[in-house]
Amino acid sequence: MPKSVDLAHPELLSASAARAAIASGQLTSERLVRACLERIDAREGEVKAWVNLDRNAALARAKALDRSSDTGPLHGIPIAFKDIIDTATLPTTYGSPIYAEHRPVADAACVSLTRRAGAVMMGKTVTTEFAVRHPNKTRNPHNLAHTPGGSSSGSAAAVGDHMVPLAFGTQTAGSIIRPAAYCGTVGYKPTIGQFSYVGVKLLSRSLDTLGAMARSVDDLVLLRSALMATPAHLPERTRAPRIGFYRTPWWDRVEPSSQALLNDVAAQLGKAGADVVEVDIGPALAPLSEANVAIMAYEGCRSLAFELEFQAEKISQVLRDIMLPAQQMLYGEYAQALNVAASAREAVQATLLDFDVLLVPSAPGEAPLGLTNTGNPLFNKAWTTVGNPCITLPAGRGPAGLPLGIQLVGNLYADEALLASARWVETHLQ
């Protein structure tokens, strides 16, 4: 643990720094949980990140862990779960009035695995309706008049406002990377299928990816250790990464402040020793945004078949406008979208043969003003649709003073290599 860590305010610690402080005896899990609860008490009335908070159970769990000799990778660390993740001890509403009183009979796999690794479940964070587009109540902690992004809005805001150091989210278009960038956190969308989706409300089997928001790359290493039985520490890189700077087919949609940030970061990393080369993947990625929409709608209206048939009046007009027309979509259109994704995946993988990561925008810019939409996922849809792992790192501020992020894209199934490159970048950004 770095000597500069301030233990007077443990709620400000990253999960990895808190874990080290607990292991060394400088901090207890109970003190950390109480600090997080005090932060929630001070800020939740404005930020509105939580659906349910399991205060008493969290404190009891923390006290028990402080008496325990177990040393799991998340020992004593508070963690939050997006409210499409099933929990047996708390309601799971999926962001919908249809499930306002729903109590699952079992925990999702990620809940059980993180608990086995020593985590303390703090509660459930706000999601948009069925993790799609209709906004919920959460506000951006950096400016309450701005969106926190979605659909993992509560998780991003809770980590960004120091209410909890680690929180789960999911991504079907841009629901981890975009809100993480908007709220100034590290966001991680693994290779699709890396984390078990058992016990998570499924919308699109071809796109849905379980991931997390954190305060550092090392936090994500601990999380992967808990979920994937991987080492709890990354090996040190023996060389600086080779980075492909990819402006994407939508560069003209990037706000000037983000364009300048990405250009500056590319130059800064080059000066730090990285081999930064501009790349062009060609036309294969251009149709991915439309393909993502088609796949999500076709699979989504089937995943929500019960709700659309029997509870349609409780579904927002926004969601009905997406899902009801999709019921008439022919399989051929859906299959064509899958083929577009497959072709793009091959093009991305061919490019990444020469690079450790690609450097791309996390979002068009800082979080938009207003709470009626969650921002544009354009710069996330491509990577979700091809399945590659991605990390967003906070890297600057926009003209309104809100966070800006940069996104790193790694090779399929090479998540540890992506994390290693991201930690190198994170260190040199600091």
Catalytic-residue membership of 82: yes
* 69 cis-preceded (ω within 30 degrees of 0): no
User: Is 151 considered catalytic here?
Assistant: yes
Tell me how many degrees the CA angle 42-36-167 measures, rounded to the nearest 5: 115
For tokens 């992967």, name the residue.
224
Active-site residue (options: 29, 152, 155, 175): 175
Identity (one letter) of the amino acid at 131? A
> Which one of 14, 29, 151, 206 is the catalytic residue?
151
Question: How big is the CA angle at 275 (ends 270 and 411), to the nearest 5 degrees?
Answer: 120
Q: Which residues, in sequence order, are bridge partners of residue 120? A: 78
Amino acid in the structure at residue 255:
E
Catalytic residue among 14, 48, 82, 316: 82
Catalytic (active-site) positions: 82, 151, 175
